[in-house]
Amino acid sequence: MSSGDGFVNVQGNDFYYRLFGEENRGRNVVCLHGGPGATHEYLLPMADIVQRGYMVILYDQLGCGKSQLPANPALLTIERAVEDLEVFRKKMKLGRIHLFGSSYGGLLAIAYALKYQRNLKSMITAGGLASVPLTTSEMERLKRGLPAKVQKTINDFEALGKYTDPEYLRAVDVFYRKHLCRLETWPAELKHSLEGTSATVYGTMNGPNEFTIIGNIRYWDVSRRLNEIRVPALVTGGRHDEVTPKVARQIHNGISGSKLVIFSSSSHLPMWEERTKYMRTVSRFLDEVENM
Protein backbone atom coordinates (compact mmCIF):
# COMPACT_ATOMS: atom_id res chain seq x y z
CA MET A 1 0.00 0.00 0.00
CA SER A 2 1.33 3.40 -0.93
CA SER A 3 0.34 6.54 0.86
CA GLY A 4 1.18 10.19 0.97
CA ASP A 5 0.03 13.56 2.14
CA GLY A 6 0.32 17.19 1.21
CA PHE A 7 -1.44 20.47 0.64
CA VAL A 8 -3.44 21.74 -2.32
CA ASN A 9 -4.79 25.24 -2.81
CA VAL A 10 -8.58 25.23 -3.04
CA GLN A 11 -10.27 28.54 -3.86
CA GLY A 12 -7.50 30.51 -2.22
CA ASN A 13 -7.05 28.35 0.89
CA ASP A 14 -4.58 25.52 1.53
CA PHE A 15 -6.22 22.16 2.19
CA TYR A 16 -4.40 19.25 3.83
CA TYR A 17 -5.00 15.79 2.34
CA ARG A 18 -3.88 12.18 2.78
CA LEU A 19 -3.87 9.41 0.19
CA PHE A 20 -3.90 5.67 0.77
CA GLY A 21 -3.59 3.00 -1.92
CA GLU A 22 -2.53 2.83 -5.54
CA GLU A 23 -3.09 5.90 -7.67
CA ASN A 24 -4.43 6.20 -11.22
CA ARG A 25 -6.69 3.16 -11.17
CA GLY A 26 -9.89 5.17 -11.33
CA ARG A 27 -11.22 3.58 -8.13
CA ASN A 28 -11.09 6.66 -5.94
CA VAL A 29 -13.02 7.01 -2.68
CA VAL A 30 -13.13 10.53 -1.25
CA CYS A 31 -14.09 10.65 2.43
CA LEU A 32 -15.77 13.64 4.06
CA HIS A 33 -15.40 14.06 7.82
CA GLY A 34 -18.09 15.46 10.06
CA GLY A 35 -18.35 18.13 12.68
CA PRO A 36 -18.67 20.44 10.94
CA GLY A 37 -15.22 21.40 12.10
CA ALA A 38 -13.69 18.03 13.01
CA THR A 39 -10.58 16.54 11.37
CA HIS A 40 -10.04 13.61 9.04
CA GLU A 41 -8.30 11.31 11.53
CA TYR A 42 -11.39 9.54 12.86
CA LEU A 43 -12.08 8.29 9.33
CA LEU A 44 -8.75 6.47 9.02
CA PRO A 45 -10.48 3.04 9.19
CA MET A 46 -11.66 3.80 5.65
CA ALA A 47 -8.11 3.06 4.52
CA ASP A 48 -8.91 -0.62 5.16
CA ILE A 49 -10.52 -0.82 1.72
CA VAL A 50 -7.27 -0.20 -0.14
CA GLN A 51 -6.83 -3.97 0.08
CA ARG A 52 -9.69 -4.19 -2.42
CA GLY A 53 -7.91 -2.01 -4.95
CA TYR A 54 -9.29 1.40 -4.02
CA MET A 55 -7.47 4.63 -3.39
CA VAL A 56 -8.81 6.41 -0.31
CA ILE A 57 -8.55 10.18 -0.13
CA LEU A 58 -9.09 12.06 3.13
CA TYR A 59 -8.86 15.82 3.57
CA ASP A 60 -9.45 18.41 6.26
CA GLN A 61 -12.23 20.74 5.16
CA LEU A 62 -11.98 24.53 5.15
CA GLY A 63 -10.77 25.78 8.55
CA CYS A 64 -10.42 22.24 9.92
CA GLY A 65 -7.35 20.37 11.14
CA LYS A 66 -4.29 21.37 9.13
CA SER A 67 -6.33 23.18 6.48
CA GLN A 68 -6.36 26.96 6.40
CA LEU A 69 -8.94 28.87 8.42
CA PRO A 70 -10.37 31.66 6.26
CA ALA A 71 -10.24 35.21 7.57
CA ASN A 72 -13.91 35.61 6.69
CA PRO A 73 -16.21 33.24 8.68
CA ALA A 74 -18.97 33.98 6.15
CA LEU A 75 -17.22 31.42 3.92
CA LEU A 76 -18.10 28.64 6.38
CA THR A 77 -21.22 27.39 4.60
CA ILE A 78 -22.49 24.19 3.04
CA GLU A 79 -22.55 25.84 -0.39
CA ARG A 80 -18.89 26.82 -0.11
CA ALA A 81 -17.96 23.31 1.10
CA VAL A 82 -19.64 21.80 -1.98
CA GLU A 83 -17.60 24.03 -4.29
CA ASP A 84 -14.43 23.28 -2.30
CA LEU A 85 -14.97 19.56 -2.87
CA GLU A 86 -15.51 20.06 -6.59
CA VAL A 87 -12.32 22.14 -6.92
CA PHE A 88 -10.42 19.59 -4.80
CA ARG A 89 -11.64 16.74 -7.04
CA LYS A 90 -10.48 18.57 -10.17
CA LYS A 91 -7.11 19.65 -8.78
CA MET A 92 -6.35 16.12 -7.57
CA LYS A 93 -7.37 14.75 -11.01
CA LEU A 94 -9.65 12.15 -9.42
CA GLY A 95 -12.22 11.82 -12.19
CA ARG A 96 -15.57 10.32 -11.23
CA ILE A 97 -15.40 9.36 -7.56
CA HIS A 98 -17.07 7.25 -4.93
CA LEU A 99 -18.06 9.76 -2.24
CA PHE A 100 -18.26 8.76 1.42
CA GLY A 101 -19.57 11.12 4.08
CA SER A 102 -19.79 10.67 7.85
CA SER A 103 -22.28 12.70 9.93
CA TYR A 104 -22.16 16.30 8.64
CA GLY A 105 -19.93 14.84 5.92
CA GLY A 106 -22.94 12.76 4.87
CA LEU A 107 -24.99 15.94 4.64
CA LEU A 108 -22.23 17.44 2.53
CA ALA A 109 -22.12 14.36 0.28
CA ILE A 110 -25.86 14.72 -0.35
CA ALA A 111 -25.46 18.45 -1.07
CA TYR A 112 -22.65 17.67 -3.51
CA ALA A 113 -24.68 14.94 -5.22
CA LEU A 114 -27.58 17.32 -5.76
CA LYS A 115 -25.31 19.61 -7.79
CA TYR A 116 -22.54 17.41 -9.17
CA GLN A 117 -23.81 13.84 -9.31
CA ARG A 118 -22.45 13.57 -12.86
CA ASN A 119 -19.03 13.36 -11.19
CA LEU A 120 -20.01 10.50 -8.88
CA LYS A 121 -19.84 6.76 -9.28
CA SER A 122 -21.62 6.24 -5.99
CA MET A 123 -22.41 7.81 -2.63
CA ILE A 124 -22.20 6.37 0.88
CA THR A 125 -23.46 8.05 4.04
CA ALA A 126 -22.64 7.02 7.61
CA GLY A 127 -24.86 8.72 10.16
CA GLY A 128 -25.60 11.29 7.45
CA LEU A 129 -28.63 13.54 7.23
CA ALA A 130 -30.85 15.24 4.68
CA SER A 131 -32.80 17.32 7.19
CA VAL A 132 -31.26 19.16 10.12
CA PRO A 133 -34.70 19.91 11.67
CA LEU A 134 -35.60 16.20 11.69
CA THR A 135 -32.18 15.31 13.10
CA THR A 136 -32.55 17.93 15.84
CA SER A 137 -35.99 16.67 16.84
CA GLU A 138 -34.67 13.11 16.98
CA MET A 139 -31.75 14.19 19.17
CA GLU A 140 -34.23 15.89 21.51
CA ARG A 141 -36.04 12.56 21.75
CA LEU A 142 -32.78 10.80 22.61
CA LYS A 143 -32.04 13.40 25.29
CA ARG A 144 -35.34 12.50 26.94
CA GLY A 145 -34.02 8.97 27.28
CA LEU A 146 -31.11 10.08 29.45
CA PRO A 147 -31.25 9.79 33.26
CA ALA A 148 -33.44 12.51 34.80
CA LYS A 149 -30.51 14.10 36.64
CA VAL A 150 -28.47 14.32 33.44
CA GLN A 151 -31.40 15.84 31.56
CA LYS A 152 -31.87 18.45 34.26
CA THR A 153 -28.20 19.40 34.21
CA ILE A 154 -28.23 19.78 30.42
CA ASN A 155 -31.43 21.83 30.40
CA ASP A 156 -30.39 24.04 33.31
CA PHE A 157 -27.01 24.96 31.87
CA GLU A 158 -28.38 25.44 28.34
CA ALA A 159 -30.98 27.86 29.72
CA LEU A 160 -28.08 29.86 31.16
CA GLY A 161 -26.01 29.53 27.99
CA LYS A 162 -23.18 27.95 29.99
CA TYR A 163 -22.03 25.45 27.35
CA THR A 164 -18.44 25.19 28.63
CA ASP A 165 -19.13 24.58 32.32
CA PRO A 166 -17.42 21.33 33.44
CA GLU A 167 -20.62 20.00 35.01
CA TYR A 168 -22.50 20.58 31.77
CA LEU A 169 -19.75 18.90 29.72
CA ARG A 170 -19.88 15.84 31.98
CA ALA A 171 -23.60 15.57 31.30
CA VAL A 172 -23.03 15.95 27.56
CA ASP A 173 -20.47 13.14 27.75
CA VAL A 174 -23.22 10.78 28.99
CA PHE A 175 -25.06 11.45 25.72
CA TYR A 176 -21.89 10.99 23.67
CA ARG A 177 -21.03 7.66 25.30
CA LYS A 178 -24.48 6.39 24.44
CA HIS A 179 -25.04 7.88 20.99
CA LEU A 180 -21.68 8.99 19.53
CA CYS A 181 -19.33 6.10 20.30
CA ARG A 182 -20.20 3.16 22.53
CA LEU A 183 -16.70 1.70 22.73
CA GLU A 184 -15.42 1.56 26.30
CA THR A 185 -12.09 3.01 25.21
CA TRP A 186 -12.29 5.62 22.49
CA PRO A 187 -9.68 5.30 19.71
CA ALA A 188 -6.86 7.83 19.77
CA GLU A 189 -7.83 8.94 16.26
CA LEU A 190 -11.35 9.79 17.42
CA LYS A 191 -10.05 11.68 20.44
CA HIS A 192 -7.69 13.61 18.18
CA SER A 193 -10.53 14.59 15.84
CA LEU A 194 -12.78 15.71 18.68
CA GLU A 195 -10.08 17.58 20.56
CA GLY A 196 -8.90 19.15 17.31
CA THR A 197 -12.33 20.34 16.25
CA SER A 198 -12.27 23.94 15.11
CA ALA A 199 -14.33 26.00 17.54
CA THR A 200 -14.80 28.63 14.84
CA VAL A 201 -16.15 26.22 12.23
CA TYR A 202 -18.20 24.17 14.68
CA GLY A 203 -19.65 27.20 16.42
CA THR A 204 -20.46 29.03 13.18
CA MET A 205 -22.07 26.12 11.37
CA ASN A 206 -23.35 23.78 14.10
CA GLY A 207 -23.43 25.20 17.62
CA PRO A 208 -22.05 24.38 21.06
CA ASN A 209 -22.51 20.58 20.86
CA GLU A 210 -23.95 17.72 18.84
CA PHE A 211 -27.54 18.14 19.97
CA THR A 212 -27.71 21.94 20.18
CA ILE A 213 -27.70 22.93 16.50
CA ILE A 214 -28.09 26.69 16.36
CA GLY A 215 -25.49 27.51 13.70
CA ASN A 216 -26.03 28.35 10.04
CA ILE A 217 -26.96 24.79 9.07
CA ARG A 218 -29.90 24.64 11.50
CA TYR A 219 -32.66 24.97 8.87
CA TRP A 220 -30.99 22.98 6.07
CA ASP A 221 -33.44 20.44 4.64
CA VAL A 222 -33.25 18.83 1.20
CA SER A 223 -35.38 15.80 2.02
CA ARG A 224 -37.85 16.66 -0.75
CA ARG A 225 -35.05 16.70 -3.32
CA LEU A 226 -33.55 13.31 -2.55
CA ASN A 227 -35.35 11.77 -5.53
CA GLU A 228 -33.06 13.85 -7.77
CA ILE A 229 -30.10 11.66 -6.72
CA ARG A 230 -29.80 8.75 -9.11
CA VAL A 231 -26.32 7.40 -8.43
CA PRO A 232 -25.96 4.10 -6.53
CA ALA A 233 -26.24 4.92 -2.83
CA LEU A 234 -25.52 3.08 0.41
CA VAL A 235 -27.08 4.56 3.54
CA THR A 236 -25.59 3.36 6.83
CA GLY A 237 -26.01 4.13 10.51
CA GLY A 238 -26.08 2.65 13.97
CA ARG A 239 -29.07 1.44 15.96
CA HIS A 240 -28.06 3.80 18.79
CA ASP A 241 -26.95 6.63 16.47
CA GLU A 242 -27.39 10.26 17.53
CA VAL A 243 -28.42 10.73 13.89
CA THR A 244 -31.10 8.12 14.33
CA PRO A 245 -32.21 5.29 12.02
CA LYS A 246 -35.31 7.39 11.30
CA VAL A 247 -33.03 9.96 9.66
CA ALA A 248 -31.23 7.22 7.73
CA ARG A 249 -34.56 5.81 6.53
CA GLN A 250 -35.56 9.25 5.27
CA ILE A 251 -32.49 9.26 3.01
CA HIS A 252 -33.03 5.65 1.94
CA ASN A 253 -36.70 6.22 1.13
CA GLY A 254 -35.87 9.36 -0.82
CA ILE A 255 -33.15 7.89 -3.06
CA SER A 256 -34.61 5.30 -5.41
CA GLY A 257 -32.71 2.02 -5.40
CA SER A 258 -30.53 2.92 -2.43
CA LYS A 259 -29.44 0.32 0.11
CA LEU A 260 -29.90 0.74 3.85
CA VAL A 261 -27.79 -1.00 6.51
CA ILE A 262 -28.21 -0.27 10.23
CA PHE A 263 -25.49 -1.72 12.47
CA SER A 264 -27.09 -3.14 15.60
CA SER A 265 -24.15 -2.69 17.99
CA SER A 266 -23.16 0.78 16.84
CA SER A 267 -24.05 4.38 17.49
CA HIS A 268 -22.59 7.15 15.31
CA LEU A 269 -19.29 5.52 14.31
CA PRO A 270 -19.84 1.99 12.98
CA MET A 271 -16.50 2.20 11.16
CA TRP A 272 -14.98 1.92 14.66
CA GLU A 273 -17.68 0.19 16.68
CA GLU A 274 -18.14 -2.67 14.19
CA ARG A 275 -15.10 -2.07 12.03
CA THR A 276 -14.73 -5.44 10.32
CA LYS A 277 -18.41 -5.78 9.49
CA TYR A 278 -18.70 -2.17 8.42
CA MET A 279 -15.73 -2.18 6.09
CA ARG A 280 -16.88 -5.47 4.56
CA THR A 281 -20.27 -3.90 3.85
CA VAL A 282 -18.71 -0.83 2.24
CA SER A 283 -16.28 -2.90 0.17
CA ARG A 284 -19.02 -5.15 -1.19
CA PHE A 285 -21.10 -2.15 -2.18
CA LEU A 286 -18.18 -0.49 -3.96
CA ASP A 287 -17.30 -3.73 -5.75
CA GLU A 288 -20.90 -4.09 -6.95
CA VAL A 289 -20.84 -0.57 -8.35
CA GLU A 290 -17.50 -1.10 -10.06
CA ASN A 291 -18.78 -4.36 -11.61
CA MET A 292 -21.98 -2.84 -13.01
Distances (CA, A) of 167 to 15, 149, 150, 152: 36, 12, 10, 11
Instruction: Give 166's contacts (C-beta < 8 A, 6+ positions apart).
Output: none
Check: CB of residue 271 under 8 Å from CB of residue 186: no
- Closest by Cα among 18, 23, 89, 20 to 49: 20
Tell me which of 33, 240, 252, 268 is the catalytic residue.
268
Pairing assessment for the beta strands 97-102 and 13-20 based on DSSP bridges: unpaired
- Residue 102 a catalytic site member: no
Number of neighbouring beta carbons within 10 Å of residue 116: 16
- Residue 179 a catalytic site member: no
The answer to whether the bond into 270 is cis (omega within 30° of 0) is: no
CA dihedral 100, 105, 109, 112 (to 10 degrees): -140
42 φ/ψ angles, rounded to the nearest 5 degrees: -70, -10
Tell me which of 179, 240, 241, 266 is the catalytic residue.
241
Tell me which of 67, 102, 103, 131 is the catalytic residue.
103
- Residue 268 a catalytic site member: yes
What is the number of alpha carbons within 13 Å of residue 58 lying toward its C-beta? Answer: 24
Which letter does DSSP use for residue 261 in this model? Answer: E
- Catalytic positions are 103, 241, 268
